[in-house]
Amino acid sequence: ETGVTQTPRHLVMGMTNKKSLKCEQHLGHNAMYWYKQSAKKPLELMFVYSLEERVENNSVPSRFSPECPNSSHLFLHLHTLQPEDSALYLCASSQLTGLDTGELFFGEGSRLTVL
């Protein structure tokens, strides 16, 4: 496989469930990101990991818990979500070199529906 792969592509969960979204990048990059895409709203940066260390947490509720066990894998653990958390969750990766190009490589997203 190449690029950035996200699973599952679709997820429906109740407010009391616990589930996880998985992202895997095959590009050898050293940074990974979670973005939230909601209709008619800008993409929201949720978390950034650089060299497996979390470097950004944009006031995301604690019901979202990221995990980056190595430079190729990123998880988003979900628990006790609210219906307003329904959205497309996008994972991205990039290579940080100090002269950052701004080029992110995105996965296809995980469409989450919270009932």
Partner 1 sequence: GNSVTQMEGPVTLSEEAFLTINCTYTATGYPSLFWYVQYPGEGLQLLLKATKADDKGSNKGFEATYRKETTSFHLEKGSVQVSDSAVYFCALSDTGGGNKLTFGTGTQLKVEL
The answer to whether residue 48 forms part of the interface with partner 1 (CB under 8 A) is yes
The answer to whether residue 100 forms part of the interface with partner 1 (CB under 8 A) is yes
In the window 3-32, what residues touch partner 1 (CB under 8 A)? 4, 31
Size of the site for partner 1 (CB under 8 A): 28
CB 109 within 8 A of CB 5: no
How far apart, in whole angstroms, are the C-alpha atoms of residue 82 and residue 14?
Answer: 9
How far apart, in whole angstroms, are the C-alpha atoms of residue 103 and residue 108?
Answer: 16
Among 16, 59, 70, 101, binds partner 1 (CB under 8 A): 101
CB 30 within 8 A of CB 48: no
How far apart, in whole angstroms, are the C-alpha atoms of residue 109 and residue 82?
Answer: 19
The answer to whether residue 53 forms part of the interface with partner 1 (CB under 8 A) is no
Backbone angles phi, psi at 83, to 5 degrees: -55, -30
The answer to whether residue 82 forms part of the interface with partner 1 (CB under 8 A) is no
Q: Segment near partner 1 (CB under 8 A), from 14-22, 69-77, 78-86, 100-108?
A: 100-108
- Contact positions vs partner 1 (CB under 8 A): 4, 31, 33, 35, 40-43, 45, 48, 50, 55-56, 90, 92, 94, 96, 98, 100-109
